[in-house]
Amino acid sequence: MDSFTDLSSSTELKKTKRLHQYMGALVVTLLGTASHGAMAACEYSVDNSWNSGFVASVSVTNDGPTPIDNWEVQWQYSGDSRIVNHWSSDISGDNPYTARNAEWNGSLQPGQSVMFGFQGTSSGSAETPDVTGALCGGGSSSSSSSSSSSSSSSSSSSSSSSSSSSSSSSSGGSAENLYSLAAFPIGVAVSAGNESRSFLDIAEKQTSIAQHFSELTAGNIMKMSYLHPSEQTYDFADADEMVNWAGANGIGVHGHTFIWHSDYQVPSWMSNYSGDFEAMLNDHVSTIADHFAGRVESWDVVNEAIDENQSNCYRNSLFYQRLGSDYIAQAFTVADAADPGADLYYNDYDTEGGNSEKLDCLLQIVDDLQASNVPIDGVGFQMHVQIDWPSTSQMRTAFQEIVDRGLKVKITELDVPINNPYASTPFPQYTSYTAEAAALQKSRYKSIVETYLDVVPSHLRGGITVWGLWDGDSWLLDFDEREGADDWPLLFSGPSNGPYEEKAAFDGVAEALTGQ
């Protein structure tokens, strides 16, 4: 199935982002049910610009004594600047442009702010027309330019990704950064290293990831065969590059994974190892955990060790054959000794309630680990779900079982495809991403996040990670049982090199996080 902590004030890698000022042009008008005395401070900022384009945002802060309900922003460029992508608002028009609030960020209490962003094309430097607005500081707002701009889209991504709004988390529901809507990690899985579609090779991916996510998971390059290709060789180069990029951009990392049974990910030397297998495996876990100590917030220690069709619940993997079930407890103990600051998870699929036998096996393993005082911090639910499976009540039950054991719950690999190859209806159910399909997917994402928030108390929320940035990256497109059918499982759409556009599914997550 696999292809590729509640953050506290002491978390070193939690995102903090500065608000950069922007070159641009904006005419602002706020409309809605604000009272006569409502006033707003409006600021247009340029995060970055390069020879052919720019990334910009607009913030509006309610400086008045009464709420503002619903807002509208207008602007016009005098030259050839045009918008090609936007987030956290509903933008219409083609110069002049009109942006209205999304469903989840239209209400501004006194002192609260909203910020939305957009990406545009231009020739030469970004434009800076006058800024006005009926509620913006008595009829005018500020627009200013950044101190420097980069000469290429690649370097622009680096600049943009390291800067954003430091006040996002207190802005009262703005999703200029999706991660700012949650007090726990909002993560995304990425390809990196020499993998095709590596996010480090695509500036647009870096920009979108830094814009909306506070945690990265490597789809592949932190697995066994990548990090430990031969007995005496550990290769950390690709993983270090990814982890260092994350750290430079204020983004946490969830490690995936020390031990996984899959044949293509177990290095051949390990499969044929004839020495002390337990000592070798302990050294494998300890060396990797120690290398990333202080730079990785959490780990999937063991991945997919369950086979619910076995009477003892354990997959007959290489590790089980050599060491029995003890290898799981040993891996947690060794990882904790090497990096006591990292949260340690057991991770698996189909445990979110739709497969009751597998959930029973999960609980058996967790209970055994806890009874032996093994340092397990949480359970990762992969959540490769369908649009209609499992039910919300089944998810609720599964999450609650882990909460009742005092462990953290982390959604580690979430995706929601439109088409279900296991349904009784003919497959595929949708051959294009229709408005109906988008609405169904939005509702499904929203209900999953709502269930998580409702069942899991704040101190046990390990985070939510989606398994890929945009639809074209999804592992499901190559999954044999989907027969090559098109699908749209993730939060963003777009061409392979961006720009990436938020889908209705993105709005569903944002609405759930803000209680809309």
Radius of gyration of the chain (CA): 24
User: Exactly one of 297, 304, 401, 413 is catalytic; which is it?
Assistant: 413
Residues 6+ apart with CB under 8 A from 380: 300, 345, 346, 347, 348, 410, 411, 412, 413, 462
> Is 12 annotated as catalytic?
no
Q: Is 173 left (phi over 0), alpha (psi -120 to 50) or beta?
A: left
201 Cβ neighbours under 8 A, 6+ residues apart: none
Name the β-bridge partners of 381.
348, 411
The whole-angstrom separation of Cα 55 and Cα 49 is 6
Helices (H) and strands (E) in the chain, counts: 12, 21
Residues for the chain: how many in total?
516
Cα distance between residue 287 and residue 273, in whole Å:
18
Separation of alpha carbons 274 and 498, rounded Å: 48
What single-letter amino acid sits at 503? Answer: K
CB distance 114 to 45 below 8 Å: no
Beta bridge partners of 344: 299
In whole angstroms, give the CA distance from residue 414 to residue 503.
15
Contact 257, 223 (CB under 8 A): yes
Neighbouring residues of 197: CB distance < 8 A, sequence distance ≥ 6: 191, 472, 473, 496
Pairing of strands 72-75, 97-101: antiparallel
Residues 6+ apart with CB under 8 A from 316: 307, 310
CA-to-CA distance for 388 and 417, rounded, in angstroms?
A: 10
Cβ count near 31 (within 10 Å): 14
- The packing angle between helices 392-404 and 435-455, to 10°, is 20
What angle separates helix 392-404 from helix 356-371, to the nearest 10 degrees? 10
Joined together, the tokens standing for residue 71 give 């807002």
Closest of 136, 155, 140 to residue 55, by C-alpha: 155
The 3-state DSSP class for residue 191 equals: coil
Active site residues: 413
